[in-house]
């Protein structure tokens, strides 16, 4: 897959719409002159105003977010208020501005050998699976993506509770599991994956979510020799490989940079999924 390259420097963009989705916000940003992202790529976001903390308003670092959808020059991002930076982005309203650097990183690759696609997400980590499902179904697929016909992807989503499970509406035909049993199955989403692979292991798994979930997916797929592509998340200062703040251990030694070598990385390349390399639950 050919990945879109970010233009040099941040772009000052305008919020086109904000949608409530349970505990989440879908921030829709007008980016008509920006390149179309490939599924799995991300952008670094910062509010244009009020982007700081403390008496001296020291600026926050930009925050990394996967593209959740791309619609005719409009980028969609899924947000959850989990700290001062994400809170400020959640406060943005239509007409306000933000700074965006992206698209960045490497995204998903289409299944090979006739394998079916299983999309597995946890919490706010469902975001990159939405744009990937669009591409696999051929719905507004971004330029350069490997949209495939044939079997519809299987979608397995896990959430903490009912208010977060509303986020499942971002994807089509999802099977849902919740930690508290308030929606769908009362189980971990990895239990749904185990059942799917027991039924038919000729699949490629695409996953994004909390680190413990991703580590469980990595282990399950390794045991069954099923290829998996994991979309990792990590705190970043730059987003393009300069700061080495987002490294994860490689199976054969050394490290991978989530921003540059990922964020989508083959599970077989990873020694493990560290606690800092997952989306908030």
- Residue 191 has φ and ψ, to the nearest 5°, of -70, -35
pLDDT reported for residue 148: 47
- Angstrom distance (rounded) from CA 220 to CA 122: 16
- Angstrom distance (rounded) from CA 45 to CA 37: 15
User: Regarding beta strands 264-266 and 228-231, do their DSSP bridges make them parallel or antiparallel, or are they unpaired?
Assistant: antiparallel
Residue in the block written with tokens 């049993």: 181
DSSP 175-220: EEEETTSSSSEES-HHHHHHHHHHH---EEEEEES-HHHHHHHHHH
Q: Of the candidates 2, 27, 20, 19, which has an alpha carbon nearest to the alpha carbon of residue 103? A: 2
Domains of the chain, earliest start first: 11-104 (2.40.30.10), 116-269 (3.40.50.80)
pLDDT reported for residue 142: 42
- Angstrom distance (rounded) from CA 256 to CA 19: 35
Q: Are 29 and 14 in contact (CB under 8 A)?
A: yes
- Angstrom distance (rounded) from CA 162 to CA 14: 31
Give CA separation, 46 vs 25, 65, 94, 250, 266, in Å. 16, 11, 15, 30, 29
Residue in the block written with tokens 């700061």: 243
Q: Of the candidates 280, 277, 248, which has an alpha carbon nearest to the alpha carbon of residue 158? A: 280
Q: Are 242 and 160 in contact (CB under 8 A)?
A: no
pLDDT reported for residue 254: 84
Q: Give pLDDT tens digits along the chain (281 positions).
A: 556 666 678 999 999 999 999 999 999 999 999 999 999 999 999 999 999 876 666 678 889 999 999 998 999 999 999 988 999 999 999 999 999 999 999 999 999 989 999 999 999 999 999 999 999 999 644 443 444 445 799 999 999 999 999 999 999 999 999 999 999 999 999 999 999 999 999 999 999 999 999 999 999 999 999 999 999 977 666 666 566 667 788 888 888 888 788 899 999 999 888 776 666 65
Q: Of the candidates 212, 3, 49, which has an alpha carbon nearest to the alpha carbon of residue 220? A: 212
Burial class (CB in 10 A: 0-12, 13-18, 19+), 199: exposed
* E strands present in 36-96: 42-47, 52-53, 58-59, 63-66, 69-70, 74-79
- Angstrom distance (rounded) from CA 270 to CA 275: 13
0.75 cut: is pTM over it?
A: yes
């Amino acid at each position: 897959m050919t990945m879109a390259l970010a233009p040099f420097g941040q772009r000052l963009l305008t919020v086109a719409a904000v949608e409530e989705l349970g505990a989440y916000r879908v921030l829709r940003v007008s980016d008509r002159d920006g390149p179309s992202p490939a599924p799995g790529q991300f952008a670094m976001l910062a509010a244009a105003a009020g982007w700081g903390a403390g008496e001296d308003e020291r600026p926050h670092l930009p925050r990394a977010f996967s593209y959740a959808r791309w619609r005719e020059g409009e980028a969609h991002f899924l947000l959850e208020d989990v700290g001062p930076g994400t809170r400020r982005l959640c406060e943005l309203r239509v007409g306000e501005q933000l700074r965006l650097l992206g698209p960045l990183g490497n995204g998903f690759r289409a299944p090979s050998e006739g394998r079916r696609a299983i999309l597995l997400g946890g919490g706010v980590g469902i975001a990159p699976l939405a744009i990937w499902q669009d591409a696999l179904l051929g719905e507004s697929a971004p330029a350069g993506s490997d949209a495939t016909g044939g079997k519809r992807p299987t979608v397995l989503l896990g959430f903490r509770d009912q208010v977060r499970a509303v986020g499942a509406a971002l994807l089509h035909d999802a099977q849902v599991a919740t930690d508290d049993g308030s929606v769908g199955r009362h189980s971990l989403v990895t239990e749904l994956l185990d059942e799917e692979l027991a039924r038919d292991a000729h699949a490629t798994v695409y996953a994004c979510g909390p680190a413990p979930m991703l580590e469980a997916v990595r282990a399950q797929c390794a045991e069954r020799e099923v290829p998996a592509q994991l979309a990792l998340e990590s705190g970043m200062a730059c987003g393009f490989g300069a700061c080495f703040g987002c490294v994860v251990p490689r199976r054969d030694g050394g490290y991978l940079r989530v921003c540059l070598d990922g964020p989508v990385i083959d599970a077989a390349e990873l020694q493990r999924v560290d606690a800092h390399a997952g989306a908030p639950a």
